[in-house]
Chains A and B, each alone.
Chain A
Amino acid sequence: MKRSRVPLYTTIAVLVFFYLPVLVLVINSFNASRFSSGWEGFTLEWYRKLWGAREIWHALRNTLIVATVATTVSTVLGTTAAFALHRYTDRLQRLHYLLIYTPLVIPEILMGMSLLLFFVAIGFELGLTTIILSHVTFSMSYVTMTVLGRLQDFDWSLIEAAQDLGADWWTTIRRVLLPLLAPLSIDDFVITFFVAGPGSTTLPVRIYSMIKHGQPPLINALSTLLLVVTFATVWLSQRLMGDKR
């Protein structure tokens, strides 16, 4: 019997839909034309200019700080919350679940506004700290939900087996729980990092203002670099997890 070609066509359609704009962007980052209206020859001029744009590097540094701290904090908090939600099912935990779940469905602008009003009201100085805190509130729910989903598939008799074979709590966590949950935690970390990253921080704000001030070629170059880093990280984490199995 002939194999169906539908999967092939859908794959191509999806790839075109997703990556054609990206491809255009990448090509334009090497375009000598200032307004990307037509191909005017190959150039690395924009990358050279980008290298010299100090305000961009500053913004990138802020972004990296925010993303790293926010991701670490929300991974730890979210995983802990997931454990509590998985282990206990009393009324308190049902409320807990509701409260964790809500930020996922509340419009982000609303969350942002209320956070801003809150920080202003209590007189908290706006800055990197408030940005980090805001990101944790967003991404923690996400981490909790994903970890919770995977905990439901986790075979808890493995924990008992470890204890049965002489492992105390700490050894069980170190030798069984962490090795089995770590790959998925790394995975969550990577995803959260990117969700937290270009969401609303300084680098995106910088990019936004660059668009306003009409520097599209620089944005193209910057976006291409970001793409490369993103792909590399995802590929690397996939490789690491692939070895685990």
Chain B
Amino acid sequence: MAEFLEFENVHKHYGRVRAVDGVSLSIRRGEFFSLLGPSGCGKTTLLRILAGFERPDQGRVFLDGQDITELPPHKRKVNTIFQNYALFPHLTVRQNIGFGLKIEGIDKATIEREVDAMLALIQMEDQAGKYPDQVSGGQKQRVAIARALIKKPDVLLLDEPLAALDLKLRQKMLIELDLIHDEVGITFVYVTHDQGEAMSLSDRIAVMNHGKVEQLGSPTEIYEAPRSSFVAAFIGDTNFFEGTVDEMVGPDYSRLAIDGFPDVVVFNDKQLKTGDLIYLSVRPEKIRISRDRPEQGAHSNVVPAHVEDVVYLGSHTKYWARVQDYRIAVYQQHNRFLLDEQPIRWGEDVFIRWHADDGFMLERYSESDERLMGTPPEEVGEADNGGESAATGSRGA
């Protein structure tokens, strides 16, 4: 067992539903690791297997070289922050935090001292005598963290810990969680469906879907180099293109044939051959939009397009540009505000441009993943039909 925490081919079925379907993962000591995915993707089940509340049908779990698969929850050096905090309503804040130590049979004086240290860490010294329903949501959260950390676990598990908080508090707790992780230095395993939380906190993320790990990597890797259409669409926005490899351009680049486009150059790190069908993902903020035809370098793609919609969002503007069957999302940052500048408007003919390195070839593509992105309908009433053409850049009706 090379790694600190290891899932080895873990399966868990509920009746016919494969909640966890053959997951193998290695988590490093001290890492902030996130399990990210939509509801029902198996992330919570995996966390519960790690906590000991569920036993896998197949596979093993190792912690620090020890096989903990069969170990009951109370014998694991793993503690959990529950989604609803699960504070004991009949105990005060102080008693809640001290609960784990009291059960161990540690003497009173030591417990008092440890609890005081924890209260200081979460800055709630003056609330120690209150009951859980007398403190605020954010404070409950902090008590739950203190109650788990006082056990000095090897791993802290966090099950959507911010889901119950409002936006402002969530942003504050996000920073606090980060600080606490830096301070205690233990391994955090964080379950969330919120890509923003996962991206901002994690050292590494495992993106999960249908009980499997779709992709594992740092936030940057996952965002910049998504391997599947699911990852590309679930994390951030993107545009998908379908094409075939036309010819090789040097050792690293290929020219693609995409319906309705002039030749598109793309970085070919997948060793694809001429004639192969490929799916391309291009992030909206990697695409430039301009009225005048830009200079075309060897590795840039310039495509004439027609602006169908403009949404001004303050820090940036979102354009919907039509090229044949594709509706392409483009984000343009506003670097400076010029009074005499004529902004690009709805209905204008423009050019869009992106660098070959910004088009990313997907290993797996599924059309249904396009629905993960919040794309507006092309026509009034279309949203009701739930038609596939509502998705970005899909080959429309």
> A167 near B82 (CB under 8 angstroms)?
no
Contact of B151 among A160, A165, A171, A244 (CB under 8 A): A165
Contact of A164 among B74, B83, B88 (CB under 8 A): B74
Binds B, one of A3-11, A36-44, A96-104, A175-183: A175-183
> B103 near A164 (CB under 8 angstroms)?
no
B142 interfacial contact with A, CB 8 Å: no
> A157 near B104 (CB under 8 angstroms)?
no
Contact of A155 among B73, B84, B104, B151 (CB under 8 A): B84
Bound Cα distance from A179 to B53, whole angstroms: 23
Bound Cα distance from A48 to B10, whole angstroms: 79
Nearest-Cβ distance from residue A147 to partner chain B, whole angstroms:
18
Given A167-B103, A179-B90, A180-B89, also A160-B74 (CB < 8 A): no
> B86 near A161 (CB under 8 angstroms)?
yes
> B74 near A166 (CB under 8 angstroms)?
yes
Can you list 21 A-B contacts (CB < 8 A)?
A155-B86, A158-B86, A158-B88, A158-B89, A160-B53, A160-B73, A160-B86, A162-B88, A162-B99, A163-B74, A164-B52, A164-B73, A164-B80, A165-B79, A165-B99, A165-B100, A165-B147, A165-B151, A166-B74, A180-B88, A244-B90
Residues of A within 8 A of B305 (CB): none
Bound Cα distance from A180 to B72, whole angstroms: 23
Residues of A within 8 A of B74 (CB): 163-168
> B82 near A157 (CB under 8 angstroms)?
yes
B51 interfacial contact with A, CB 8 Å: yes
Q: Which of A121-166 contact B (CB under 8 A)?
A: 155, 157-158, 160-166
Nearest-Cβ distance from residue B196 to partner chain A, whole angstroms:
25
Could you say which interface size class chain A belongs to?
10 to 19
Nearest-Cβ distance from residue A223 to partner chain B, whole angstroms:
38
7 shortest A-B CB distances, which residue pairs?
A165-B100, A161-B86, A157-B86, A163-B73, A164-B80, A166-B74, A166-B103
> B82 near A166 (CB under 8 angstroms)?
no
> A161 near B90 (CB under 8 angstroms)?
no
Residues of A within 8 A of B104 (CB): 166
Chain A residue with Cβ nearest B73: A163
Bound Cα distance from A175 to B101, whole angstroms: 13
Chain B residue with Cβ nearest A163: B73
Residues of B within 8 A of A164 (CB): 51-52, 73-74, 78-80, 148
Q: Which of B80-122 contact A (CB under 8 A)?
A: 80, 82-84, 86-90, 99-100, 103-104
Residues of A within 8 A of B78 (CB): 164
Beta-carbon contacts of A80-94 to B below 8 Å, as 1s and 0s? 000000000000000
Beta-carbon contacts of B45-89 to A below 8 Å, as 1s and 0s? 000000111000000000000000000111000111011101111
Nearest-Cβ distance from residue B380 to partner chain A, whole angstroms:
45
> B99 near A180 (CB under 8 angstroms)?
no
> A157 near B73 (CB under 8 angstroms)?
no
Bound Cα distance from A161 to B51, whole angstroms: 10
Interface centre among B72, B103, B104, B151 (most CB of A within 10 A): B103
Bound Cα distance from A168 to B73, whole angstroms: 9
